A = this chain, B = another copy of it.
């Protein structure tokens, strides 16, 4: 069963159907309207607003909601959780989710496997879901020392069936990696757009923004509530990343103020080589 049939939950449902895995997918969510839409789109087989009934049959429970709602959902399912059900999530931060799961699930924490599918998510809703969203994408699982090996294997198979490359690491390692390569870039993109939007001549500035600006700021169009939650959940690592970036920027500012062309060129070359080498690995 899937809590939150949006882009992620919906795409898992479609991928499992496409993989021919014979499961009945029950959609559970906050809004009957969204669930009905997901059912009409053929994403889920059954919609359920009665948590007890939904939990009764579930082999796997995937929680795919904004990360701040995870605790409330864990609390709502706890009373009805079978001993054999495996629970996983799809949140972009893992330290906070594991801490919450440990408190709420107690003895049954061993049935919980933290997960994070790395797939673009600036669009949302079941209508954006697609079966190949996770094809060749990374999914990170963050088992705790207590987590049952059976549970990890079960969730690993789930994501492999969706076409993903599954890797495992600690929640702390996960959160520090994603602070650098995802959360910081989002914050910088939000910062740049907000900086420009708040100027008296914002309209003129936007009028001359072109394709470089378009790509750089694409992630500034992301879901504000989701990114508020991610930022707060990964606060410490993210503050560390902001500090490191501020140092880097202040180094560039000094090279520029000193008109140190050679220094700027070395830095730009290092970045451009690294970026272009990375891009080759993505093809």
Q: Which residue of B lies closest to A223 (CB)?
A: B272
Query: A residues touching B (Cβ–Cβ < 8 Å)?
Result: 118-120, 122, 137-138, 140, 177-178, 180-182, 184-199, 202, 204-225, 227-229, 231-232, 235, 238-239, 242, 244-246, 248-250, 252-253, 256-257, 259, 261, 264-265, 267-272, 274-276, 278-279, 281-282
Chain A to chain B contacts (Cβ below 8 Å), 22 pairs = A118-B208, A118-B210, A122-B212, A178-B208, A180-B199, A184-B192, A185-B216, A193-B274, A194-B274, A197-B274, A212-B219, A215-B216, A215-B219, A220-B271, A220-B272, A220-B275, A222-B268, A227-B264, A232-B259, A232-B264, A239-B256, A239-B257
A209 touches B278 (CB 8 A): yes
Q: Specify which chain B residues have a CB less than 8 angstroms from the CB of A196 in the assembled complex.
A: 180-181, 274
Which of A187, A202, A210, A244 is packed against the most chain B CB atoms within 10 Å? A210
Partner of A238, one of B213, B218, B256: B256
